[in-house]
Amino acid sequence: MFIELDLQSETPIYTQLVDQIVEGIACGALQPGEQLPPIRSLAEDLGINLHTVNKAYNLLKQEGLLQVHRKTGVIVQPGEMPGVTEAFEEKLRRQLRSLAAAAAVRGMAEEVFAQESRSVYRDIITNRGGE
Amino acid sequence: MFIELDLQSETPIYTQLVDQIVEGIACGALQPGEQLPPIRSLAEDLGINLHTVNKAYNLLKQEGLLQVHRKTGVIVQPGEMPGVTEAFEEKLRRQLRSLAAAAAVRGMAEEVFAQESRSVYRDIITNRGGE
Amino acid sequence: MFIELDLQSETPIYTQLVDQIVEGIACGALQPGEQLPPIRSLAEDLGINLHTVNKAYNLLKQEGLLQVHRKTGVIVQPGEMPGVTEAFEEKLRRQLRSLAAAAAVRGMAEEVFAQESRSVYRDIITNRGGE
Amino acid sequence: MFIELDLQSETPIYTQLVDQIVEGIACGALQPGEQLPPIRSLAEDLGINLHTVNKAYNLLKQEGLLQVHRKTGVIVQPGEMPGVTEAFEEKLRRQLRSLAAAAAVRGMAEEVFAQESRSVYRDIITNRGGE
DNA sequence: GTGGTCTAGACCACC
DNA sequence: GTGGTCTAGACCACA
């Protein structure tokens, strides 16, 4: 598995898990329909609690990025991905707003901030063609 | 005061306070050297506890955005603002990364994401000239 | 626990706590990676409030001497310690200056003052080899 | 007057005043028996409250560094300076201890710390011969 | 069971 | 009147 956790970080482990799985899907490391490790084995691999993995999976299921079946296990949502809903846009903007304000206050120019955003996005996507 | 809190939100109150003050400074609603409301009166105005305001003020103080004086009260850092440190860039990128991944997964194109960032930044700055 | 507080002292309790923990780390009584008592139990042992301990722990965390985990509790920073930054040197010198002036005024010679400093430092370190 | 206050500093103003007067005596800028500015005029010069200056003067009087007369005003203790009492040594050591621990934890060597102390002391004294 | 957050209310140092 | 510190007690998120 490609997941790396920072147990020292102050961001909750389940959040880190969610982020990394989302990134995995975004960059194509996790294909639609692909199987994710069972909760128990992933928890064991990462040396974390079973509930933590479960929480992450459930959050992603609620967001429509994963499907959880009893028998089949957990797979990446095949076919139709959630898409950009209004709720998502609002949430995205609210968080960007906070980051932009912090950047602006420290004197980072609009162009630099936009460029930073673009380059971060590109970093994630860049490997997508490869799989 | 221009601050609006969502007491139901899962983001801590003091974090919301910090964000809004940073935005206030970024957009020029709060000028360098300008006085902020005393801890107690702001707490009362917002219907929250004095310690919550205190925590927010102190966080901003240790980020170099505010100065806290014993008798004088709290003012926006006059003169030299913190600037873009390496630590800040790293933190910014980490958070942008999470947002970019979520956006990419939902099919938001690179150009749209970058444009979104730029427009959010511009929204904040836009009133700055007016003070 | 090896901590002794003077509740009558004019130096804040949390400062005394910080100082004693730093000394504990310096002398090796607290090893890197070692666990510190949970906030609540230390507070109870010392007969002080939990928030006071919390404040001390958080100060040490933001100085990079402690790590605070949600479930695991608090540990001494394992591996790389902060190091002597310029900010630290400046702060050290400012405080030494005040002490040196007071000593000089009372006729304590330069050599005695330097020797005093050295011996205090040595007192702290002296047990370090023993762990 | 040679006194410079940092009103932004988190160390109380009266403490800064005390420190600077002590330094002034240590370096010889203030000679034994020399007259200090009257409370009111010093307060006005520095742009601070009258009580603040008063508090500083009284602390120094208690320590035996100043003499306060109603008519004559305030003068530097002529002749016999306090000397190194046991209480002073203890207080000095306690404060040095805190600094030494902080330095040791950050990897500053004993020799460096002692040298730092000596050089700070020398900085203060260095002008003494000159007056 | 751990730390994180919030509330309520008190006293003190500083100016 | 300002922020700083401390206490007491509560609920929640995390693991």
- Residue C63 CA to nucleotide E5 C1', Å? 22
Of the listed ranges B44-48, B68-72, B117-121, the one predicted with least confidence: B68-72
Average pLDDT, chain D: 89
Q: Are D117 and C100 in contact (CB under 8 A)?
A: yes
pLDDT given at position A131: 46
Q: What is the DSSP code string of chain B? A: ------TTSSS-HHHHHHHHHHHHHHHTSS-TTPEEPPHHHHHHHHTS-HHHHHHHHHHHHHTTSEEEETTTEEEEPPS------HHHHHHHHHHHHHHHHHHHHTT--HHHHHHHHHHHHHHHHTTGGG-
Residue B60: exposed, middle, or buried by beta-carbon count in 10 A (0-12, 13-18, 19+)?
A: buried
**Covered bases, chain F (protein CB within 7 Å):** 1-10, 13-15
**Mean pLDDT throughout B96-117?**
95
What is the residue extent of each domain of chain B? Answer: 13-76, 86-126
DSSP assignment, residue D79? Answer: S
Kindly determine whether the C-beta of residue A98 is less than 7 Å away from any atom of nucleic acid strand F: no
- Residue D39 CA to nucleotide F1 C1', Å? 24
pLDDT confidence tier of residue A130, bands split at 50, 70 and 90: very low
DSSP assignment, residue D30? Answer: S
Size of interface A-C (CB pairs under 8 A): 6
Partners of C22 on chain D (C-beta within 8 Å) are 98, 101-102, 105
Asked whether at least 3 C-beta pairs link D and A within 8 Å, the reply is no
Q: Subunits touching B (CB < 8 Å, at least 3 pairs)?
A: A, D
CATH number of A13-76: 1.10.10.10
pLDDT given at position B128: 67
In sequence order, what are the residues at sequence separation of 6 or more whose Cβ sits closer than 8 angstroms to the Cβ of residue A98?
Answer: B19, B22, B23
pLDDT confidence tier of residue A1, bands split at 50, 70 and 90: low
**Mean pLDDT throughout A23-49?**
90
pLDDT tens profile D57-84 = 999 998 999 998 888 889 999 888 888 9
Q: Which two tokens stand for residue B3?
A: 């601050």
Q: From chain C, which residues contact A within 8 Å (Cβ)?
A: 67-70, 72
pLDDT tens profile C3-56 = 999 999 999 999 999 999 999 999 999 999 999 999 999 999 999 999 999 999
The answer on pLDDT for B1 being more than 60 is no
Residue D4: exposed, middle, or buried by beta-carbon count in 10 A (0-12, 13-18, 19+)?
A: exposed
pLDDT tens profile D79-113 = 888 889 999 999 999 999 999 999 999 999 999 99
**Mean pLDDT throughout B52-57?**
96
The answer on pLDDT for B105 being more than 70 is yes
Please tell me which of the candidates A22, A83, A115 has its beta carbon nearest to residue B102: A22
Residue type at C1 in one-letter notation: M
pLDDT given at position D129: 53
The answer on pLDDT for B76 being more than 80 is yes
The whole-angstrom separation of Cα B63 and Cα C101 is: 32
pLDDT given at position B72: 87
Distance (Å) of CA A115 to CA A27, A91, B114, B125, C126: 19, 21, 7, 17, 54
Sign of CA dihedral D30, D33, D39, D44: negative
Kindly determine whether the C-beta of residue C73 is less than 7 Å away from any atom of nucleic acid strand E: yes
Kindly determine whether the C-beta of residue B12 is less than 7 Å away from any atom of nucleic acid strand E: yes
The answer on pLDDT for C72 being more than 70 is yes
pLDDT given at position C88: 94
pLDDT confidence tier of residue C1, bands split at 50, 70 and 90: low
Kindly determine whether the C-beta of residue C56 is less than 7 Å away from any atom of nucleic acid strand F: no
pLDDT given at position A80: 82
pLDDT given at position D131: 46
Cβ-defined contact of C69 to A12 (cutoff 8 Å):
no
- Residue D11 CA to nucleotide E9 C1', Å? 27
D130 against D29, higher pLDDT: D29
pLDDT tens profile C89-101 = 999 999 999 999 9
**Covered bases, chain E (protein CB within 7 Å):** 1-10, 13-15
Distance from CA of C93 to the nearest CA of D (A): 7
Kindly determine whether the C-beta of residue B39 is less than 7 Å away from any atom of nucleic acid strand F: yes
**Mean pLDDT throughout A112-127?**
92
pLDDT confidence tier of residue A79, bands split at 50, 70 and 90: confident
Bridge partners, residue B36, by sequence = B74
Bridge partners, residue A75, by sequence = A35, A67
pLDDT confidence tier of residue D127, bands split at 50, 70 and 90: low
pLDDT given at position A129: 53
Cβ-defined contact of A7 to C70 (cutoff 8 Å):
no
pLDDT given at position C129: 56
Of the listed ranges A122-126, B90-94, D14-18, D20-24, the one predicted with least confidence: A122-126
